[in-house]
Amino acid sequence: MSAALASINVGIIGTGFMGVTHTEALRRLGVNVVGIVGSTPQRALAKAEAANLPRVYDSVDALLADPAIHAVHITSPNDMHHVQAAAVITAGKHVICEKPLGTTATESADLLARAQHAGVVHAVCFNQRYYPLVHQAQAMVANAELGTPRLVSGGYLQDWLLLETDWNWRLVAERAGALRAVADIGSHWFDNVEFILGSPITDVFADLHTFITSRQRPTGDVETFAAHSLGEVERVTEPVVSDDAAGILVRFANGARGTCTISQVSAGRKNAMSWEINGSQSSLAWNQENPEDLWIGHRGRPNELRKRDPGLMHSTAAAITGYPAGHVEGYPDTFRALFATIYADIVAGGPSPVPTYPTFADGHDAVLVCEAVARSAASGTWATVQREAGERS
C-alpha cells in the first residue's frame, strides 16, 4: 500500500449496493475511507456499523465542510447526482460519480464544464471497462488484430426486475430519469463497445418496451437486487412507464454497425453483459458472467479461447490485472482497477492531460447517447447523437 494513497481521505455519499462496493474497493487500494452520508443519519449509521466505517456525516454539507476530505464518491439515486456533484466541485474536492452523470444532458454538460473549470479530478463509474479482457479486446482492436471492425452484437440482460413485486427507486422516472434499463445497464454496453472500438456511437434506432406497466411497491425502502429477500411486506400498486427492455441498432463513427438487446426482465440472466465483434479477419466475444474467457474466432484456423493471463496479454490489460492467471477476478476487481487509475491522478493533485479512466466527458457523452435512444423510440426513426463541436468524434 502506498503512503501517498493512505494520505487521501474520502467520503462516500450513498449507502446502497454501490456505496458498499466503492468502500470495499477503496479499502483494497489503501485509500482512507473516512465516512459516509446516507438518505437519513439512521440508515447511514446502520451501514457504517456493518461496513466498519469510522464516521457518519449528518448531511452532504457536513461532509463537504470537512477540510480533511480530498475526494467524494457519489452513489446516491440519479436525481441527486447533479446537485451533489456540483456541490463537491464547488467545495474544491475531487469527484467520482456513479452513472448516469445526470438525468438530462443539460445536467451532465453543466457538471463537465464545472469540473473542467475547477481543475478537480472527475470520473464516472464505467467500471465494466476495467475487466482485464475488455482492455485486452481494446488493445487487440487498436492493433488491427481483427482487421477492420465491422459488426458488433450483444447486449445486457438482468432478471432482478422480472416480477411485478420487484421494486427499486430506478423504476421511478423522477428519481432515475426518463430511461431505466437503457440508462442503467445499456449505458455500460455502449461504453464498453465504444471503448473497445475506439469509436463513438453516432446514430441509434431504438425500440423501448415496458412489459410490466404496474408494480406492487413495498411501502419501505428496497435496495438494488434486494427485492427477492423481502418476504411479506405492505405494498401499494404503482404505474410504471420506463423501459423494462430495448432493442437498439447502432452506428459507429468508424463505419461499424451494431445491434444490442437490453433487459432487466430476462429470467436467469443476472448480470449478463456480452458483446461480439466481427472484424474483416477475426472476431472477439466476451460475457461479463464469465469474465476470464475471451473467445477469438478465425476463418482459416481453429478458434481460440484465451484466459485472462497477465503474461500473455497486451501491456494495458496486464497493467489493470491484480492477480495471476487462474486466480479468478470479477466484478469487485473492476472497481479496484478503475479507482487505482483515478487515484493516481488524485495523488498527483489533478487530472492528467489525457486521463485513461472515464471522465465526466464520457459520462456526458453516455447521457447524449441515451437521449438519442429516447428520441428515436419516440419518433420511430433513426436519431443522431447530438454532440457539440469538439465533443467526441
Site residues (vs ligand SOE, CB under 6 A): 17, 158, 184-185, 188, 224, 271
Q: How far is the CB of 36 from ligand SOE (least distance, A)?
A: 18
Q: Residue type for 256, please?
A: A
Q: Which is nearer to ligand SOE, 17 or 382 (CB)?
A: 17
> For residue 218, which of 198, 238, 191 has the smallest C-alpha distance?
238
Q: Which is nearer to ligand SOE, 167 or 205 (CB)?
A: 167
Q: How far is the CB of 384 from ligand SOE (least distance, A)?
A: 26
Q: Which is nearer to ligand SOE, 225 or 295 (CB)?
A: 225
Cell of 29: 487500494
Q: What is the DSSP string of 19-42?
A: HHHHHHHHHHHT-EEEEEE-SSHH
Q: What is d(CA 278, CA 99) in angstroms, rounded to the nearest whole number?
A: 28
Q: How far is the CB of 20 from ligand SOE (least distance, A)?
A: 12
Q: Which is nearer to ligand SOE, 69 or 125 (CB)?
A: 125
Phi and psi at 175, nearest 5°, equal: -90, -40
Q: How far is the CB of 271 from ligand SOE (least distance, A)?
A: 6
Q: Which is nearer to ligand SOE, 93 or 215 (CB)?
A: 215
Q: How far is the CB of 188 from ligand SOE (least distance, A)?
A: 6
Are 191 and 250 a contacting pair, CB within 8 Å? no
Q: How far is the CB of 83 from ligand SOE (least distance, A)?
A: 20
What lies within 8 Å, CB to CB, of 378 at 6+ separation is none
Phi and psi at 149, nearest 5°, equal: -65, 135
Where helices occur in the chain by DSSP H, the ranges are 3-6, 17-29, 41-50, 60-64, 81-90, 105-118, 132-142, 173-176, 181, 187-197, 315-319, 331-348, 360-379
Q: What is d(CA 210, CA 164) in angstroms, rounded to the nearest whole number?
A: 12
User: Which segments of 136-243 are extended strands (E)?
Assistant: 149-157, 201-209, 214-218, 235-239
Q: Which is nearer to ligand SOE, 127 or 202 (CB)?
A: 127
Cell of 216: 406492487
Q: Which is nearer to ligand SOE, 70 or 129 (CB)?
A: 129
Q: How far is the CB of 160 from ligand SOE (least distance, A)?
A: 7
Total residues belonging to the chain: 393
Going 64 to 122 to 15 to 69, the CA torsion angle's sign is negative
Q: Which is nearer to ligand SOE, 69 or 185 (CB)?
A: 185
Q: How far is the CB of 284 from ligand SOE (least distance, A)?
A: 21
Q: How far is the CB of 264 from ligand SOE (least distance, A)?
A: 6
- Helix 132-142 to helix 187-197 angle, to the nearest 10 degrees? 40
The secondary structure element, H or E, covering residue 339 is helix 331-348
Q: Which is nearer to ligand SOE, 84 or 158 (CB)?
A: 158
Q: How far is the CB of 224 from ligand SOE (least distance, A)?
A: 5
The three-class DSSP label of residue 276 is strand
Closest-CB residue for ligand SOE? 184
Are 258 and 250 a contacting pair, CB within 8 Å? yes
Grid-cell match 456541490, residue found? 87
Q: Residue type for 33, please?
A: V
Question: Judging by DSSP bridges, how do beta strands 201-209 and 383-384 pair with one another?
Answer: antiparallel
Q: Which is nearer to ligand SOE, 130 or 205 (CB)?
A: 130
